[in-house]
C-alpha cells in the first residue's frame, strides 16, 4: 500500500465509502462496509436481521475511467435500485411468481457473506453457475440460502420455480422468437449465415434461457442448422448455426467482447446434444474449430481460477494461513492451440487447480510435466470443500514409487 493509500484508503476503499455514504443518505437505518468481502451491508430497521448486501466488485470495475459526475450517477442508480426494491417476500407464495434463474461465472459473488447469507447457487456448466433472483419492475435481488429456509422449500424447488417462470416468459409469442424483445440489430456479426444477437434490457433474461430445456434447440430454424450459443456477458446472447467458417469469426468476436466486459460470463460456445440438452461445444483433434474451442475453454478456466486465486490469497493472508494457491497458466503451441499447466512443488501446501498438465517441482530431480488424467490415476486428489471452480488440497508429496511412475509418464511441452 502506498503512502497516499495509508492516509486516505485504497481506490476500492474510497469507492466503498462513497457507496456507503449514498446508502446512508437513502434512509437506511444501518449501513456498514465490509472491507474483506468488498460489500456494503444495510438494514432497513435498527436491530433487524440483515436486510441486504450490495456487492461492489462489478460496479467498481464498471466505474473505472469514469469522471466524478458519471461515477456518482452510477452509484446513485445502483443504490436506488437496491434499497428501494420491495421488501423480500416472507412466504413462498409471495416469492414464487418473482423468481428467475440467472447464469453467472463460477466466481461471481465469491466474496459474499458466508453461511446462510450466501446467494443460492449451483453449478451449471464447467466454470459457470446458476443463481436465482427475485425480479421486480425496477430492481432485481439475489435469493439467499437463508431466504429459502424462511420459505420452507428445498433449494431445488426454488430453481424449478425460477425456470418455470422464465419458460412462461420465453413462451410468450413476442419474445420466444425474438419479437419486440428479440435480437438487437437483426443479423449482427460476421458475413454469412444469420447471427442472432439478443441484448437484454433488464427483464427478458435472454442469457438465462440457455438453462431452459429445448429453448436453444428451438432456434435451429432461425439460424439454419444446429444452434451454437455464446454468452460473453450478463446481458448478451449470440446464436449462430454450427458452420465452422461462421463460427471461427464468431469465436474471435466473442473473445473480444468477453475481454472487454465488466460482467463477464464465458467465451465458450454451447450447443445441444442428441437429446436437446445444452452442452459445451466440443471439437476433437482434427476438427477445423479444435484450436478455437480449446482456446475459449482454456481462457474461461484461466480467468475463473485467477479470480478465485486472487480472492483466496487475500483470505489466507488475512487469516495467517500458509497455503499456496496455485495459478492456472495458459500456454500456446506453434499450431495455435493452447493448453493449461498447474504447479505442484515438493514441501508446499498447495491448492491445485485442474489443468491439462501438472508441473512437478522438486530439489531432488528436474521438473517434469504429466498429463492430468495420469496424475488423477496415480494420486488421490480430494477436492477442497466449498470451492468452485474445484481445487485439490495437496499437503504431502507423493511417495517415491508414485513420483517415479509419474516421471516415467512425463511429456515434453
- pLDDT given at position 297: 97
More confident residue, 65 or 135: 135
Instruction: Answer yes or no: is pLDDT of 191 > 50.
Output: no
153 near 93, Cβ under 8 Å?
Answer: no
Q: Cis peptide leading into 399, omega within 30 of 0? A: no
DSSP per residue, 272-306 = E-TTS-EEE----TTSTTHHHHHHHHHHHHHHHHH
Instruction: Answer yes or no: is pLDDT of 177 > 70.
Output: no
- pLDDT given at position 214: 94
More confident residue, 207 or 109: 207
Instruction: Answer yes or no: is pLDDT of 171 > 90.
Output: no
Q: How confident is the model at residue 55 (pLDDT cuts 50, 70, 90)?
A: confident
Query: Of 74-83, 139-148, 241-250, 382-391, which range is least confident?
Result: 74-83
User: Angle between the 290-319 and 244-260 helix axes, to the nearest 10 degrees?
Assistant: 20
Q: How confident is the model at residue 65 (pLDDT cuts 50, 70, 90)?
A: confident
410 near 370, Cβ under 8 Å?
Answer: yes
Mean pLDDT across 163-180: 67
- pLDDT given at position 3: 44
Amino acid at each position: 500500500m502506498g503512502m497516499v493509500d495509508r492516509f486516505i484508503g485504497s481506490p476500492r476503499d474510497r469507492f466503498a465509502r462513497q457507496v456507503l455514504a449514498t446508502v446512508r443518505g437513502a434512509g437506511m437505518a444501518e449501513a456498514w462496509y465490509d472491507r474483506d468481502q468488498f460489500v456494503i451491508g444495510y438494514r432497513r430497521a435498527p436491530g433487524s436481521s440483515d436486510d441486504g448486501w450490495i456487492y461492489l466488485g462489478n460496479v467498481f470495475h464498471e466505474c473505472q475511467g469514469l469522471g466524478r459526475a458519471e461515477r456518482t450517477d452510477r452509484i446513485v442508480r445502483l443504490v436506488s435500485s437496491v434499497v428501494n426494491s420491495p421488501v423480500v417476500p416472507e412466504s413462498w407464495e409471495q416469492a414464487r411468481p418473482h423468481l428467475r434463474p440467472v447464469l453467472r461465472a463460477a466466481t461471481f459473488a465469491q466474496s459474499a457473506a458466508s453461511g446462510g447469507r450466501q446467494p443460492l447457487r449451483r453449478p451449471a456448466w464447467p466454470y459457470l453457475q446458476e443463481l436465482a433472483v427475485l425480479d421486480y419492475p425496477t430492481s432485481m435481488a439475489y435469493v439467499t440460502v437463508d431466504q429459502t429456509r424462511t420459505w420452507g422449500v428445498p433449494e431445488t424447488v426454488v430453481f424449478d420455480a425460477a425456470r418455470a417462470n422464465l419458460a412462461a416468459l420465453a413462451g410468450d409469442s413476442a419474445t420466444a422468437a425474438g419479437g419486440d424483445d428479440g435480437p438487437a440489430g437483426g443479423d449482427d456479426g460476421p458475413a454469412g449465415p444469420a447471427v442472432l444477437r439478443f441484448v437484454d434490457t433488464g427483464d427478458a433474461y435472454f442469457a438465462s434461457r440457455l438453462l431452459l430445456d429445448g429453448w436453444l434447440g428451438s432456434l435451429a430454424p432461425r439460424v439454419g442448422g444446429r444452434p451454437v450459443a455464446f454468452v460473453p456477458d450478463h446481458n448478451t446472447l449470440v446464436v449462430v448455426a454450427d458452420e465452422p467458417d461462421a463460427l471461427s469469426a464468431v469465436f474471435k468476436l466473442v473473445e473480444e467482447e468477453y475481454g472487454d466486459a465488466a460482467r463477464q460470463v464465458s467465451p465458450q460456445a454451447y450447443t445441444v446434444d442428441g437429446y436437446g440438452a445444452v452442452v459445451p461445444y466440443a471439437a476433437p483433434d482434427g476438427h477445423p474449430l479444435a484450436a478455437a474451442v480449446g482456446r475459449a475453454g482454456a481462457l474461461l478456466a484461466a480467468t475463473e481460477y485467477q479470480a478465485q486465486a486472487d480472492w483466496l490469497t487475500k483470505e489466507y493472508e488475512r487469516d495467517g494461513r500458509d497455503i499456496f494457491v496455485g495459478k492456472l497458466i495458459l500456454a500456446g503451441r506453434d499450431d495455435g492451440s493452447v493448453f493449461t499447466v498447474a504447479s505442484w512443488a515438493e514441501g508446499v501446501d498447495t491448492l491445485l487447480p485442474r489443468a491439462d498438465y501438472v508441473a512437478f517441482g522438486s530439489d531432488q530431480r528436474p521438473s517434469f510435466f504429466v498429463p492430468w488424467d495420469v496424475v488423477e490415476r496415480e494420486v488421490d486428489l480430494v477436492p477442497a470443500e466449498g470451492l468452485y471452480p474445484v481445487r485439490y488440497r495437496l499437503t504431502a508429496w507423493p511417495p517415491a514409487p508414485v513420483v517415479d511412475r509419474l516421471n516415467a509418464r512425463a511429456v515434453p511441452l
